[in-house]
Amino acid sequence: MAKILVTGGLGYIGSHTVVELQQNGYEVVIVDNLSNSEIKVLDGIEAITGIRPHFEQLDICDDKAFQVCLTKHNGIDAVIHFAASKAVGESVEKSLDYYRNNVYGLIQLLTLMRKNDIKHIIFSSSCTVYGQAEQLPIDETAPRQTATSPYGNTKQMCEDIIRDAIISYHDFNAILLRYFNPIGAHPSAMIGELPKGVPNNLVPYITQTAAGLRKELSVFGDDYNTPDGSAIRDYIYVVDLAKAHVKAMQRLLSGSNKSDCEIFNLGTGSGVSVLELVNTFMEATGVNLPYKIVGRRAGDIEQVWADSSYAEKELGWTAKTPLAEVLNSAWNWEKKVRNIQ
Ligand code: NAD
Ligand code: UFG
């Protein structure tokens, strides 16, 4: 079975994807510098799959260490590239760090892929590249819009770098996956999201509030042009998202891709407002969630959700897990992390 290099494989989406890859028979080599993850995630992956993936702690920007790793684990067939910095607000404060890690890191990776004759890459992109789209739902033909943060800009630049590398070096091919809003945790509660400090994202903030770590959730805005006034997103279960990577990998390795650089939107196809999500969390878990309405968060867009019919048609993939089940998985993970019965 094929050997897959997973950069950032101890992170949130990476760890769930490693589980699915292993459960589908792939051999996995993880590289991660632990800048936003913990080594014990390896134990969680092993507890679920019964297999401890190969792991090398290194920074992908360190080409010497990276080459040593590729020599040691020679015969890599393809890469899934998750390793990146991802906090939108922090990227405004530390833009050069973001360009170095996300853009330079990708350039190093592609350079080493060429040197080591690795031809296939799956890249973690984001619906952030669409900005506030004029038409909803958003399909892959929707135009990208000027990024509103250095983070968003790195995703656009990385997509372009991959596209250009394919033109320069004809034997490369890629699948760019544009994720909508990944949430939830593995049903085993052995792995999940581990935000450092105060969470920026909605679901970890909710579960930490429910666990008593935060006093109340602030709902950022109830004056949007949406049915209940709160902003709308397409929340996709991280396990469903992970499974899409396996489908994409099968497609690349079997050569059934239709072009050398394919793009897929990965979402559920449905938009959910912040207030709907809060209410679903309370109904699903039976936990009361204190919240207050505050002003809009700077830089937030009003509403986005995906048209994922292209992924359904081409990858044979859909995100079907009900939101209540997904929110329960997030809560079960939070309870496990906090030792709550
Ligand atoms: P994460 O921070 O949990 O995982 C990223 C992992 O990469 C971490 O384990 C981190 O330690 C590692 N890493 C970072 N820089 C590295 C480097 N230079 N060398 C080696 N390892 C490095 O993030 P995530 O939520 O799992 O996101 C994975 C990818 O998906 C990222 O590229 C992110 O931009 C993208 N994405 C995430 C979301 C989201 O909402 N979580 C949405 C769209 C796209
Ligand atoms: N929200 C709140 N209160 C909070 C946190 C969030 O009301 O405490 C609201 C936000 O205003 C937004 C919605 O919940 O309307 C979702 O916010 P998130 O921060 O969870 O997610 P975003 O849609 O802002 O962005 C996320 C990632 C980006 C990524 C994007 C698309 O943070 O990196 O999804 O994949 F680009």
pLDDT tens by residue, 64-106 = 999 999 999 999 999 999 999 999 999 999 999 999 999 999 9
pLDDT above 90 (res 170): no
Known catalytic membership, residue 151: yes
Determine if ligand 1 sits within 6 Å of the CB of residue 179: yes
Question: Which of 84, 288, 326 has the alpha carbon at shortest distance from 181?
Answer: 326
Residue with tokens 């666990």: 211
Question: Which of 332, 8, 1 has the alpha carbon at shortest distance from 186?
Answer: 332
- Nearest residue (CA) to ligand 2, atom 35: 180
Q: pLDDT confidence of 299, banded at 50, 70, 90?
A: confident
Determine if ligand 2 sits within 6 Å of the CB of residue 148: no
To test the ligand 2 pocket, which listed residue (98, 130, 203, 220) has its Cβ within 8 A of the most ligand atoms? 220
What ligand is nearest to the CA atom of residue 33?
1
The predicted structure's pLDDT at residue 111? 98
Answer whether 1's CB lies under 8 Å from 23's CB: no
Mean pLDDT for the chain?
97
Catalytic residue among 12, 26, 99, 151: 151
Determine if ligand 2 sits within 6 Å of the CB of residue 219: yes
Residues 6+ apart with CB under 8 A from 56: 29, 30, 31, 65, 69, 72, 73
State the DSSP string of 221-276: -S-SSSTTSS-EE-EEEHHHHHHHHHHHHHHHHHT--SSSEEEEEES-S--EEHHH
Residue 143 DSSP symbol: P
Residue with tokens 């393809």: 78
- Nearest residue (CA) to ligand 2, atom 12: 231
Determine if ligand 2 sits within 6 Å of the CB of residue 238: no
Rounded to two decimals, the pTM is: 0.98
pLDDT tens by residue, 184-239 = 999 999 999 999 899 999 999 999 999 999 999 999 999 999 999 999 999 999 99
Label the pairing between strands 3-7 and 78-81.
parallel
- How remote is the CA of residue 85 from the centroid of ligand 1, in Å? 6
The predicted structure's pLDDT at residue 327? 98
- How remote is the CA of residue 202 from the centroid of ligand 2, in Å? 6
pLDDT tens by residue, 239-249 = 999 999 999 99
The predicted structure's pLDDT at residue 296? 96
Amino acid at 198: V
Return the ligand 1 atom nearest residue 127 CA: 43
- How remote is the CA of residue 113 from the centroid of ligand 1, in Å? 19
d(CA 259, CA 131): 25
Question: Which of 244, 110, 251, 119 has the alpha carbon at shortest distance from 173?
Answer: 119
Structure tokens given for 23? 């459960």
Alpha helices in the chain (DSSP H): 12-23, 41-49, 63-72, 88-93, 95-98, 105-115, 150-168, 202-210, 238-254, 274-285, 309-315, 323-338
Element (DSSP H or E) covering residue 30: strand 27-32
Determine if ligand 1 sits within 6 Å of the CB of residue 192: no
pLDDT above 90 (res 1): no
| Mean pLDDT value of segment 271-296 | 98
Determine if ligand 1 sits within 6 Å of the CB of residue 126: yes
- Nearest residue (CA) to ligand 2, atom 3: 219
